[in-house]
């Protein structure tokens, strides 16, 4: 219900967020730094593997 968060290089394609919002009727959010978003998230998981173990093991 919160929409879609765009990450990675594709998130930088001009107008893609608007197109996806129009086609899906969902709110689209582009991460503030889409090129490093996945790396930052992975770093958080590695810093506290026990906290995220249930997510990683499924």
Q: Is the pTM above the cut of 0.85?
A: no
The pLDDT of residue 55 is: 82
Q: In the prediction, which pLDDT does 44 show?
A: 92
CB-based contacts of 2: which residues, under 8 Å, 6+ apart? 27
The domain ranges of the chain are: 4-56
- Bridge partner list, 28: 4
What integer pLDDT is reported at residue 53 of this predicted model?
Answer: 87
Average pLDDT per consecutive 10 residues, the chain (58 residues; last block may be shorter)? 93 98 98 95 92 83
């Amino acid at each position: 219900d919160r929409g879609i968060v765009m990450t990675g290089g594709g998130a930088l394609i001009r107008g893609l967020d608007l197109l996806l919002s129009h086609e899906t009727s969902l709110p689209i959010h582009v991460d503030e730094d889409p090129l490093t978003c996945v790396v930052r998230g992975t770093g958080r998981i590695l810093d506290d593997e026990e906290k995220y173990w249930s997510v990683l093991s499924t």
